[in-house]
Amino acid sequence: MNRSFRTLPALAFPILLFFSLAPLSPAQAGSLIDKGRKIAQEGNDLPGSTACMECHRLHGGGMPSIGSPRIAGQPRQYIEHEILGVKAGTRYAPIMAGIVNNLSEKDIQAVAAWYASVRTPKLRDVSPYDPDLVKLGKRIALKGQWKKNVPACVLCHGPQGRGIPPHFPYIKGQNKGYILRQLISFAFLKRSDDPQGLMRGIARRLSPTERKAVAEYFASLTPPPADGQPDRPSSGKDPR
């Protein structure tokens, strides 16, 4: 037997590993995004599967009326992590749980790639923002409530809450129903997919009014053009 043949299997594993970990080539990423778009639009072909766009819309604007989050342009890794959390039961999400259980790992990668790649304008929220709550929320967001051991939100969610990829999602321009519900989930329900319990502790220490205020403040802002990106002066051209 040829010597090089015997070493082949030994080499194959690291090579395969390398390719599976390497960043996707543009062509691979493109086909993943296309697959994700299809799932977002039609579900994943399993009978009875639900399309993501039913609640998140095709371009990820979400649905403020039911508190379904805006997900357009969140980091790919973050979206994947959240879906896996819902599947594993570490992220409290009674509606999502029934839907994502049908998704394979590849499906999840695909929808994450799709929604990370799309951009969409902010949708109208369910009610006008209360100026007093916005003012209080802004204080907590930018300066923190250190007496209660609550650091400024922007320290981890980025300047103005535009996110710090890949682990910290943007929260500016998110709808208020969703932000408030997540703070409550972290504080009292079974959302425990936050690293080191950081959000669980913070959300618990905020008062009900403060949670509401923070939600109103971040919801009152415009979403970033993409996660972690500063706002650009509008050129009148839709980035996508």
Contact positions toward another protein, by CB under 8 A?
143-144, 146, 149-151, 155-156, 158-159, 162-165, 167, 195-198, 201-202, 224, 228-230
- The CB-of-86 to another protein minimum distance in angstroms stands at 21
Residue from 128, 122, 182 nearest 157 by CA: 182
Measured from the CB atom, is 46 or 155 closer to another protein? Answer: 155
Output the CA–CA distances (angstroms, integers) from residue 189 to 91, 174, 182, 186, 192, in the order listed: 9, 21, 9, 6, 9
Residue linked to tokens 């051991």: 149
Q: Tokens in use for 105? A: 């790992």
- The CB-of-24 to another protein minimum distance in angstroms stands at 21
Measured from the CB atom, is 195 or 239 closer to another protein? Answer: 195
- The CB-of-138 to another protein minimum distance in angstroms stands at 13
- The CB-of-229 to another protein minimum distance in angstroms stands at 5
Measured from the CB atom, is 44 or 117 closer to another protein? Answer: 117
Q: What's the CA gap between 42 and 52, in Å, rounded? A: 8
Measured from the CB atom, is 38 or 200 closer to another protein? Answer: 200
At 152 the three-state DSSP class reads coil
- Element (H or E) spanning 205, and its range? helix 198-205
